[in-house]
Amino acid sequence: MAPEPMVSIGFIAKRTGNAVSLIRYYANEGLIPSVRTNGGNRAFPRSVIRRVSFILIAQNMGYSLAEIKSLLSTLPDNRTPTQADWAKLSTVFNQHIEAKIAALTSLKTSLEGCIGCGCLSLDRCRLYNTDDKVAARGSGAQLLDENVQSQFLVSHKK
Amino acid sequence: MAPEPMVSIGFIAKRTGNAVSLIRYYANEGLIPSVRTNGGNRAFPRSVIRRVSFILIAQNMGYSLAEIKSLLSTLPDNRTPTQADWAKLSTVFNQHIEAKIAALTSLKTSLEGCIGCGCLSLDRCRLYNTDDKVAARGSGAQLLDENVQSQFLVSHKK
DNA sequence: GCTTGATCTAAAGTTAGCTTTAGATATTAA
DNA sequence: TTAATATCTAAAGCTAACTTTAGATCAAGC
């Protein structure tokens, strides 16, 4: 197979709509592969554009760079990903998207039946209080941590 | 109507499953209302638990605290929210959830038809390159910024 | 009244995810 | 060959969203 054309960091930046500093940052973090020219500049296979696109999409979905790195680890670093490589990643990722959709749908239902109803007898509100489900094993509510938050992908918390 | 019982910061923290420092932080940021006891301690209406729950859910959806503050601004600060108050907020929020679901669904379709197909003739991949749509008005791709990212609620970028 | 635990403030520290800066070297176009 | 532009490194700076720390005061139970 013909070797993939190598491109500069500026090309990747322009094509993905990002700053050069971001591409360099991703390269340093090991999120995208690169080689060096004789002079020491980075050179990327064109397919890195696709990889960056994936990173941006996953970030928008709430994944941290660490999680994305892990997701991307199914792609090979030492050669351009093949159709099968991307398909494999895609299958996994699709499941994450579906899980997110399911979580949002469930949240929507909850909100419609709870906040939406305006049930201010707080002791009965499922969002506020899950005594009916967890009282037996604790002292109160904490529904968010246990039921809702875990269905999402990212917590933004340390 | 009977005045709502006031509770301590520790109570709110325990009931929402968070650290006291977080509740204090939210109070300082003006995300949740509070008054002071004679001694100077914070006192919260019980309904603040619901407000914190909302904040946590919205954060998990990707909203920044600034955006959440703006969302919450439809709720009254000086009195306990009524059914109508929550219903109003819920209506708005529901639309955001629906938009997110729609964006994820569309992303899923795109990935299935693009990354999923493994189309490595990169010049034809919609995710990688939208030359067929935007070439006329620019020099390349940048699909992510223009088409996909804008459908999500948060960018995590400055 | 005393002790213990909860809360207070203000300031500093932390992590993720970047950008900016400065000064040096590479690459490209004329 | 030379000027203009791109890239390099290392270090520092920045924002959001918190937590931690230190020393002081509050509140509750005995």
A52, A86, A150, best to mutate vs chain B, most B CBs in 10 Å: A86
Residues of chain B with Cβ-Cβ distance to A120 below 8 Å are: 47, 80-83, 86
- Please give the full DSSP string across chain B, using - where no structure is assigned: -PPPPEE-HHHHHHHHT--HHHHHHHHHTTSS--EE-TTS-EEEETTHHHHHHHHHHHHHTT--HHHHHHHHTTS-SSS---HHHHHHHHHHHHHHHHHHHHHHHHHHHHHHHTTTTT---GGG-TTT--HHHHGGGSSS--HIIIIIGGGSS-----
Domain map (residue ranges) of chain B: 6-118
Considering A20-29, A92-101, A123-132, B127-136, the range whose residues carry the highest mean pLDDT is A20-29
Tell me: domain A6-118, CATH 1.10.1660.10, correct? yes
Interatomic separation, CA of residue B120 and C1' of nucleotide C19, rounded (Å): 33
The whole-angstrom separation of Cα B48 and Cα B42 is 12
**What residues of chain B, 61 to 120, have a C-beta less than 8 Å from chain A?**
61-62, 80-87, 89-91, 93-94, 97-98, 100-101, 104-105, 107-108, 111-112, 115-120
Residues of chain A with Cβ-Cβ distance to B98 below 8 Å are: 108
Query: Mean pLDDT for chain A?
Result: 74
pLDDT score of A121 more than 70: no
The whole-angstrom separation of Cα A85 and Cα A83 is 5
Q: Is the dihedral of CA B147, B149, B150, B152 positive or negative?
A: positive
Residue with tokens 């650290």: B19
Higher pLDDT, A130 or B1: B1
Residue pLDDT, tens place only, B65-85: 999 999 998 888 767 777 788
**The pLDDT value given to residue A1:** 58
As given in the structure block, the two tokens for residue B79 are: 């009195």
pLDDT score of A48 more than 60: yes
The whole-angstrom separation of Cα B67 and Cα B58 is 9
Q: List beta partners, residue B36.
A: B42
Per-residue pLDDT band at A108 (split at 50, 70, 90): confident
In this prediction, residues A18-40 reach a mean pLDDT of 97
pLDDT score of B103 more than 70: yes
Q: Which bases of strand D have any atom within 7 Å of the beta carbon of a protein residue?
A: 6-9, 15-21, 25-27
The whole-angstrom separation of Cα A110 and Cα B105 is 20
Per-residue pLDDT band at B11 (split at 50, 70, 90): very high
In this prediction, residues B15-22 reach a mean pLDDT of 95
Q: Which bases of strand C have any atom within 7 Å of the beta carbon of a protein residue?
A: 6-9, 15-21, 25-27
Residue pLDDT, tens place only, B38-64: 999 999 999 899 899 889 989 988 999
Interatomic separation, CA of residue B9 and C1' of nucleotide D19, rounded (Å): 16
Rg (CA), chain A: 22
User: Given an 8 Å threshold on Cβ–Cβ distance, is B144 in contact with A15?
Assistant: no
Residues of chain A with Cβ-Cβ distance to B95 below 8 Å are: none
User: Given an 8 Å threshold on Cβ–Cβ distance, is B94 in contact with A108?
Assistant: yes
How many inter-chain contacts (A to B, CB under 8 Å) are there? 177
The whole-angstrom separation of Cα B79 and Cα A24 is 51
Residue with tokens 């939210």: B26
Residue of B nearest to A146 (CA): B17
**The pLDDT value given to residue A113:** 67
| Cβ count near A60 (within 10 Å) | 23
**The pLDDT value given to residue A50:** 87
Which residues, at least 6 apart from A30, have a Cβ–Cβ distance to it below 8 Å? A69
Share of chain A above pLDDT 90, in %: 39
Total-model pTM: 0.78
Backbone angles phi, psi at A118, to 5 degrees: 70, 25
